[in-house]
Amino acid sequence: MKIIDKDLRKGWVKIRVEDVDDLWVLKNIIKVGDIVVAKTLRDVKMEGEGKKRLPITLAIKVEKIYFHPFASRLRVHGVIVEGPEEYGLRGSHHTLNVDVGSEITLFKESLSQSLLRKLESLTNKRRFKTLLVAADFDEASLAILYDQGLRFLNDLTLPSIGSEDESVYRGSS
């Protein structure tokens, strides 16, 4: 996560999402009633042309937040409070898709110094990917550890040790 800009007195912070763990952090920081501003695609009515999908910047008042950890997506749903006037979108519902690489501006009623410190500490945090292997006599599981949990990669069935192969495993000939 990278903090691009901030204004503590006005209660906003602009953030660039750098990995999936950042999406999980944002899911826990963004609350119902916050305002999130981001670029999005929206179907709008064009005079004489019908509907057209356009890239626009919208501000929504958050009603619901959905985190899809292994689809690398955070969905922020709410009511549009600001956007281009010519399309008459204010008051309509919209869902912002926040992906790795997205930039959002988050407005909170009270952007506390402690929350800002938490975000800044995550900016400087070095994240390591950890591969977990759990093995038994005849099975093994592989997973990657993330801040928000485990992502299972594969379950393996290992070859069983037969009576004729036992000498190989005991070290005798």
Could you read off the pLDDT of 71-104 as tens digits, one per residue?
789 999 999 999 998 888 899 999 999 998 999 9
pLDDT at 164: 52
CB 60 within 8 A of CB 75: no
pLDDT at 65 over 60: yes
Q: Is the pLDDT of residue 48 over 80?
A: no
24-28, 43-47, 165-169: which range is least confident on average? 165-169
Q: SS3 for 46-72, per residue?
A: ECCCEEEEEEEEEEEEEEEEEEEHHHC
Q: In angstroms, rounded to a whole number, what is the distance separating the alpha carbons of residues 146 and 20?
A: 8
Nearest by Cα to 4 from 42, 35, 41, 38: 38
Give CATH 2.30.30.870 domain extents, the chain. 2-123
How far apart CA 5 and CA 116 sit, in angstroms, is 11
Identify the burial level of 155 via C-beta atoms within 10 angstroms of its C-beta, where 0-12 means exposed, 13-18 middle and 19 or more buried: exposed
Q: What angle do CA 25, 27, 32 make, to 5 degrees?
A: 135
The whole-chain average pLDDT of the chain stands at 85
At 142, the amino acid letter reads L
Average pLDDT on 52-63 reads: 94
Per-residue pLDDT at 163 exceeds 90: no
Quickly name the fold that domain 2-123 has. SH3 type barrels. (2.30.30)
Gyration radius of the chain over CA positions: 24
| Banded pLDDT at 149 (limits 50, 70, 90) | confident
Query: Is residue 114 pLDDT above 50, yes or no?
Result: yes
Q: What pLDDT was estimated at residue 92?
A: 94
